[in-house]
A and B are shown apart, each in its own frame.
Chain A
Amino acid sequence: MRAFTDALIITKRQLLQLARVPEVLIFSTIQPVMFVLLFRYVFGGSIATGQPGGYVQLLMPGIFVQTTAFTLAATASGLAEDMTKGLIDRFRSLPISRSALVFGRTLGDGLLNVVVLAVMGLAGYIVGWRPSSGIFKIGLAFIFLLAFGYALSWVGIFAGLAARDARVVQNVSFLITFPLTFLSNAFAPTTGMPRALQYVAEWNPVSTMVAACRELFGLKNQFGATAGSFPSEHPLTMSLIYMVIIVSIFVPLSVRKYTTAAKK
């Protein structure tokens, strides 16, 4: 119980930071909105979908997933900064639960995702995104997205604690998330890729997430798979499996890393 309230205090700290430096929130929402506009109007015209409502219907789930995947970088660099500034040491010298800081942090980043997804959804609606599956399934898709972001922010915690320098973390997490989000069905059909990459793209958790969201938003996943593999046939199940795997590896790993973490 105490661990929980401690975690909430840490989460509150993050919200306070956003209140004190609102630019952070503004720019972390502007970026995905920019992606929505760029992809919608730059690629949207030239990618034939045969989808009623056009490319934007397929694009939005892709961008939602991409944005939540970037949570990894946000969490990692935030934590690495706390490390270099010595804040982690202070927290560790306090009589609080070992896991409070890391849980609080992931919770805070999760809340930030709620805001970002809401703004993006609105932007998508303005440029013609019309999910057709009804409120229940749409809500479920967003919960799914938040869960995915939350799972990835645990990877971010570990990366942030393991890194030597906040700037390195930023670059490295970008190097991981960028190919991960593009080597997928998020923005273009995987069928155009070289054969070997198609398999990678199909098994990529980003692809299964995007496919799952497309299903939940009431679309056929046209950018999907070629080979009829398990992940492309059962994207929802596969995404859940991925999340469970990520969380069950990185939660204990991160908590352990935190208790032994030393300022480098």
Chain B
Amino acid sequence: MAEHLVKTYRKGEVRALDDLSLDVAEGTVLSVLGPNGAGKTTVVRILTTLLAPDSGSASVGGIDVVKHPDKVREIIGLSGQYAAVDETLTGWDNLVMFGRLYHLGKKAAVVRADELLERFSLTDSARRPIKTYSGGMRRRLDLAASLIVQPKVLFLDEPTTGLDPRGRQEMWGVIEELVKGGVTLLLTTQYLDEADQLADEIAVIDHGKVIARGTSDALKRQVGGERLEVVVDQDHITATMEIVAKVSGQQASLDAGLRQISAPVTTGAGALIEVLRNLDSAGIHPLDVALKRPSLDDVFMALTGHVAEEEVAAPAGKRGKK
């Protein structure tokens, strides 16, 4: 889809995209994962014809976005951080208006609006101004507006940023439904679990470059094996650390606040059983035991050398909550 894209801002001072290339196979979901300022939105803006790249080329559905932006606009849907709906109008008003702008006839636009409201469980609030909607409802309506003419390729730019956990769950459900329907989807997110949950493939980007690419499993394998975690009470920490270290063959680390001891293991469940057996014969009863595969957070940490700054970065310059 995108080849060697370069985009700089402020006369070259900021390199938003630095020779970035991406592609999404038809009918699959690619998640572009990265912290704030990594260049996610810039990629989406270029692919949706809102912004022209300084160099490089990009196409959507085989159509060049720079040469034939009008043709591209006919086959895409865009929703999320940077696309929006009219807040003073009702949900129904908005969908009918956008339907008309997609050149549906009056009747067809009304029919389609009703269909979409039904599908996104918004029928009850269809006649209320968007201002009165919750964050989750707003995003659903926003998404509905991008689906008026079945887009071939759908772009969702941080679809859940700023939503509460319930809103996120609802949004994920809706997106999963869509994916089952076979749409090609490019989704950007700064939430690692979101990429994990929704995407076939993940492209991790940082400072305008793709730094890793693959399925969620492959990325995790790249970082390493599993970790064993044991939580015990204060008195048994030292003894437990010795046991865990012996089974693991490596130094165990301690999170003193959580009283959690962890170490990398290679034998999976076998290691778990062995540790438990040893703890039992030492008369130690663990409060919690877990065998953890690496999270995408670990992947991110390992790839970028810094943590995914979702907590720090999320509020800065985001639309999200009012």
Contacts and interface: CB of A to CB of B under 8 A. Distances in A.
A89 interface: yes
A21 B145 contact: no
Interface in B66-89: 70, 73-74, 76, 78, 81-89
Interface string A1-12: 010001001001
B36 interface: no
Contacts of B45: 89, 262
A133 interface: no
B25 to A, nearest CB: 23
A87 interface: yes
Contacts of A179: none
Contacts of B74: 95
A26 interface: no
B93 A16 contact: yes
A85 B84 contact: yes
Contacts of A13: 86, 89, 93, 97
A34 B145 CA distance: 41
B302 interface: no
Contacts of A17: 86, 88-89
Interface string A75-117: 0000000000111011111111000000000000000000000
B97 A94 contact: no
Given A9-B97, A89-B82, A90-B145, A20 B50 contact: no
A86 B319 CA distance: 9
A21 B76 CA distance: 32
Given A87-B85, A89-B82, A94-B73, A262 B97 contact: no
Interface stretch (B99-107, B221-229, B253-261): B99-107
Given A86-B319, A87-B85, A92-B50, A20 B73 contact: no
B86 A262 contact: no
Contacts of B93: 13, 16, 20
Interface centre among B45, B49, B101 (most CB of A within 10 A): B101
A76 B113 CA distance: 30
A20 B81 CA distance: 25
A226 B149 CA distance: 63
B97 A90 contact: no
A130 interface: no
Residue from the set A6, A90, A91 with the largest chain B CB neighbour count within 10 Å: A90
Interface in A1-41: 2, 6, 9, 12-13, 16-17, 20-21
A86 B83 contact: yes
Which among A6, A13, A87, A262 has the greatest number of chain B C-beta atoms within 10 A?
A13
B88 A21 contact: yes
Contacts of B84: 85-87, 89-90
B101 A94 contact: yes
Contacts of A137: none
Contacts of B129: 20
Contact of A89 (B76, B83, B86, B89): B83
Contacts of A2: 103
Contacts of A91: 101
Given A9-B97, A96-B101, A90 B89 contact: no
Interface of B: 45, 48-51, 70, 73-74, 76, 78, 81-90, 93, 97-98, 100-103, 129, 145, 319
Given A89-B45, A94-B102, 10 more contacts: A9-B101, A13-B93, A16-B93, A20-B88, A85-B84, A87-B86, A89-B78, A89-B83, A94-B73, A263-B82
9 contacts: A9-B97, A9-B100, A16-B97, A20-B93, A85-B87, A89-B50, A90-B145, A95-B73, A95-B74
